[in-house]
């Protein structure tokens, strides 16, 4: 069925959300930056530093990805987020990180 109406008082309300993620492996040895864009709970477009460009998942997301990927200054800014956003903030967030290593099982 349809998802629940989270805002019944505003049936014409649209929601937009952006999310930035940093994935750390071995401290800052391997760092991955992921920027996600959602509209009405649907992921439209994502940037993954391992890919190096925006990828669209909907017709609108494909258009936005094409526009953003064709902007050299914006792409330079996004591609360097691994350093200025992730690595820059690593020391401040390390006390809150959870070690996710799983011990070997027999």
9 in a structural domain: no
Residue 35: CB atoms within 10 Å: 18
The count of structural domains within the chain is: 1
pTM of the model: 0.75
CATH of the domain at 23: 3.10.320.10
Q: pLDDT tens-digit profile of 52-67?
A: 999 999 999 999 999 9
Is it the case that residue 97 has pLDDT exceeding 70? no
Q: Ramachandran region of residue 7, left (φ > 0), alpha (ψ -120 to 50) or beta?
A: beta
Range of the domain at 78: 16-98
Q: What is the mean pLDDT of residues 31-51?
A: 95
């Amino acid at each position: 069925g349809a998802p629940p109406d989270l805002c019944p008082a505003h049936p014409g309300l649209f929601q937009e959300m952006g999310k930035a993620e940093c994935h750390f492996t071995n401290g800052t040895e391997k760092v991955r930056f992921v920027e996600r864009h959602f509209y009405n709970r649907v992921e439209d477009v994502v940037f993954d530093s391992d890919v190096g460009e925006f990828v669209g998942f909907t017709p609108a997301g494909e258009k936005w990805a094409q526009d953003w990927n064709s902007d050299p200054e914006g792409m330079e800014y996004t591609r360097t987020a691994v350093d200025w956003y992730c690595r820059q903030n690593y020391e401040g967030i390390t006390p809150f990180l959870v070690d996710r290593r799983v011990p070997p099982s027999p």
